[in-house]
């Protein structure tokens, strides 16, 4: 960026710019949001070699923290939309299978991840991850403006003008539309990035100067020499923006409307949703298995050290206790043997090996791709998080059913779950919260045998549901609450009718809860949509409650209707942050 040091305030003129519009598939963001929808087909062409800088949110549409963050990010992107000829805001859904390789290439394996890309970035650039974990609009605006200010590659947008001769720009170009900034403060950068479109509509230049205590915005119409001034005092950038925008509105400027994301939901029969939440589907278990390995784990560019050990332990637990069809268990055994001999593995190699091995064994070829019991009312609800809970519930129950050592191996499944969530589960905030649950109710102190492990996981899941009930990630068609309800298992509740928040010990009869969980997750698995039902590996046998794999359970009424937890146009503008001296 060329700016001469003239011994006085620095002056910058913005002469031209552009706006990028795009469309994409529905995730947490839609075409009416002020973001560029990116995917594997357009990421490189849009971002790399672009004349503008980029801020990109890599997210997962099933991630609860991403769902909660989305309204803030939409609000932020709408506020900075007018900065788009200097820095553009993009989003990419890593939950979409077609984007797995893109997220892996840019070393994104936790969500949400915010990365900055400078102008004219090379294809080899991985971006610069935003260091701050603050998710407020103010902090996002500040960091974005600061990053934009640091990019010298944007020099083509600006040219300097000698102080005192600002109107000379009209001599060479009488029709020029310009914005002139006088030594703006840290608030000035975000402020003037925000008002440029209104200035463009007026077709007038804007003079700005600042000191430690105030910002002075002065409007000068072409052909006039007298300035109409507006002084702004304060330290809040958003308040500064609002004050100036109100001033501009008095000049009969039209504000650009804010679009709203389309709320795309699936029309579902409420009773059907609730009934299915009391059914464990084999296809959900198989999809949880595949997604956890082929997507979550394989998103990591290199898996080694602690991560590899955690992966090997996870597959070992699956090989011992996964209650699946023979072909699925064969797949797990083969994968276990392959991964055991490696000191490290690329995520792309793991993904390819899973694809090849599945085809060789004929595994999962008939597995429905849609969620069954874990299907939510829209893409963002239920799905993978629900299925992962279901998978580990099933593993804990089947562990209790097959192990002869009820004590020394009591924590095997829970430790595997903890390791997997800590190292591979994409929702970062969810992983941190699970770790807090683990530390607050340390299972090593509370679990004496494998049955206790089943109850510990059930309690933890219920505590999570109680905390998330009413949250933005809570499916409005099926709110999270304590499981099971009284209709499906009245004997699971204590006779005293106590309702003690997340202290479930006094509210529930643990003996009957344990029986209920063992029946649901151990024996009564539904094979809807699968053609190879006879290929189930009957790990267990015995009386009802001993977890016989069967298609239809008789121990509770599956048809009941209660359910469980589901899971300005920058043609003018942009000011960067300068100190009181000119930057070269």
Domain of residue 525, residue span: 278-483+514-535
Distance CA 463, CA 420 (A): 20
Q: Which residue has the tokens 């499916």?
A: 475
Q: Are 328 and 286 in contact (CB under 8 A)?
A: yes
Give tens-digit pLDDT for 495-552: 765 555 556 778 899 999 999 999 999 877 888 888 755 455 544 333 333 333 333 3
DSSP state of 152: G
Within a domain: residue 172? no
Within a domain: residue 435? yes
Within a domain: residue 110? yes
Per-residue pLDDT of the chain (584 residues; tens, 9 = 90+): 333 332 333 333 332 322 222 333 458 999 999 999 999 999 999 999 898 999 999 999 999 999 999 999 999 999 888 788 788 999 999 999 899 999 999 999 899 999 999 999 998 999 999 877 778 898 898 888 778 777 766 544 444 444 455 555 555 555 544 444 444 444 444 444 554 444 434 333 333 333 333 333 444 444 444 334 444 444 454 455 555 555 544 543 333 333 333 344 444 455 555 566 789 999 999 999 999 999 999 999 999 999 999 999 999 999 999 998 999 999 999 999 999 999 999 999 999 999 999 999 999 999 998 899 888 877 778 889 999 999 999 999 999 988 777 777 899 999 999 999 999 999 988 999 999 999 999 999 999 999 999 999 999 999 988 888 777 877 777 777 788 988 888 999 987 655 555 567 788 999 999 999 999 998 778 888 887 554 555 443 333 333 333 333 333 333 333 333 333 333 222 333 333 223 33
Give tens-digit pLDDT for 193-239: 554 444 434 333 333 333 333 333 444 444 444 334 444 444 454 45
Nearest to 503 by CA among 465, 459, 461: 459
- Rg (Cα) of the chain, in Å, rounded? 29
Within a domain: residue 303? yes
Nearest to 420 by CA among 399, 406, 434: 434
**Element at 526 (helix H, strand E):** strand 525-526
Domain end: 137, 154, 171, which one? 154
Three-state DSSP class for residue 230: strand
Distance CA 564, CA 517 (A): 13
The β-bridge relationship of strands 87-93 and 36-38 is: parallel
Q: How far is CA 323 from the centre of its chain?
A: 30
Regarding whether 150 and 299 lie in a shared domain, the answer is no
Give tens-digit pLDDT for 316-347: 999 999 998 999 999 999 999 999 999 999 99
Within a domain: residue 106? yes
CATH number for the domain harbouring residue 397? 1.20.120.310
Distance CA 538, CA 499 (A): 39
Q: Are 539 and 323 in contact (CB under 8 A)?
A: yes
CATH number for the domain harbouring residue 23? 3.40.30.10
Domain count, the chain: 2
Domain end: 112, 133, 154, which one? 154
Nearest to 154 by CA among 106, 182, 189: 189
Within a domain: residue 205? no
Q: Are 48 and 118 in contact (CB under 8 A)?
A: no
Within a domain: residue 497? no
pLDDT value of position 152: 66
Distance CA 97, CA 252 (A): 48
Within a domain: residue 498? no
pTM: 0.72
CB neighbours (10 Å) of residue 550? 15
Vertex 399 angle, CA 394 and 400, to 5°: 105
């Amino acid at each position: 960026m060329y700016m001469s040091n003239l011994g006085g305030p620095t002056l910058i003129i913005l002469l031209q710019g552009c706006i990028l519009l795009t469309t994409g598939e529905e995730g947490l963001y839609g075409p009416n949001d002020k973001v560029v929808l990116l995917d594997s087909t357009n990421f490189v062409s849009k971002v790399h070699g672009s004349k503008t800088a980029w801020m990109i949110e890599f997210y997962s549409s099933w991630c609860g923290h991403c769902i909660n963050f989305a309204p803030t990010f939409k609000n932020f992107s709408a506020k900075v939309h007018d900065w788009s000829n200097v820095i553009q805001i993009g989003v990419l859904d890593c939950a979409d299978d077609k984007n797995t390789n893109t997220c892996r290439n840019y070393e994104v394996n936790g969500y949400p991840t915010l990365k900055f890309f400078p102008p004219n970035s090379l294809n080899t650039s991985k971006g610069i991850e935003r260091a701050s974990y603050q998710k407020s609009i103010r902090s996002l605006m500040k960091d974005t403006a600061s990053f934009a200010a640091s990019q010298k590659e944007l020099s083509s947008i600006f040219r300097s003008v000698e102080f005192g001769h600002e109107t000379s720009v009209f001599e060479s170009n009488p029709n020029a539309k310009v914005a002139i900034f006088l030594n703006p403060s840290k608030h000035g950068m975000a402020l003037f990035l925000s008002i440029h479109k209104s200035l463009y509509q007026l077709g007038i230049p804007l003079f700005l100067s600042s000191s430690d205590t105030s910002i002075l915005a002065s409007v000068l119409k072409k052909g006039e020499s007298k300035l109409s001034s507006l002084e702004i005092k304060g330290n809040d950038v958003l308040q500064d923006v609002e004050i100036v925008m109100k001033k501009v509105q008095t000049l009969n400027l039209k504000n650009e409307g804010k679009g709203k994301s389309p709320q795309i939901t699936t029309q579902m029969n409420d009773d059907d949703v609730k009934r299915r939440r009391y059914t464990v589907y084999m296809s959900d278990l198989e999809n949880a298995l595949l997604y956890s390995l082929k997507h979550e784990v394989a998103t990591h560019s290199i898996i080694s050290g602690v991560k590899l050990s955690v992966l090997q332990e996870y597959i070992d637990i699956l090989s011992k206790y996964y209650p699946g069809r023979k072909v699925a268990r064969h797949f797990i055994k083969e994968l276990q043997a392959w991964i055991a001999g490696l000191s490290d593995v690329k995520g792309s190699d793991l993904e390819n090996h899973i694809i090849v091995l599945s085809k060789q064994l004929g595994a999962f070829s008939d597995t429905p791709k849609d969620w069954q019991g874990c299907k939510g009312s829209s893409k963002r609800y239920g799905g993978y998080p629900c299925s992962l809970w279901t998978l580990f519930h099933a593993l804990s129950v089947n562990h209790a059913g097959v192990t002869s050592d009820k004590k020394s191996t009591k924590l095997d499944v829970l430790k595997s779950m903890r390791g997997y969530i800590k190292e591979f589960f994409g929702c970062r905030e969810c992983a941190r919260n699970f770790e807090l649950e683990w530390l607050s109710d340390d299972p090593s102190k509370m679990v004496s045998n494998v049955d206790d492990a089943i109850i510990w996981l059930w309690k933890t899941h219920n505590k999570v549901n109680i905390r998330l009930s009413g949250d933005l990630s809570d499916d409005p068609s099926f709110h999270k609450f304590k499981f099971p309800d009284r209709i499906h298992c009245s004997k699971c509740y204590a006779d005293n009718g106590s309702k003690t928040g997340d202290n479930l010990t006094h509210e529930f009869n643990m003996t009957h809860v344990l029986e209920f969980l063992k029946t649901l997750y151990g024996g009564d698995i539904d094979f809807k949509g699968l053609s190879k039902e006879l290929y189930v590996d009957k790990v267990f046998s015995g009386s009802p409650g001993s977890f016989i794999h069967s298609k239809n359970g008789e121990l509770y009424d599956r048809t009941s209707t209660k359910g469980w937890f589901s899971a300005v146009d920058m043609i003018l503008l942009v000011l960067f942050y300068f100190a009181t001296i000119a930057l070269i």
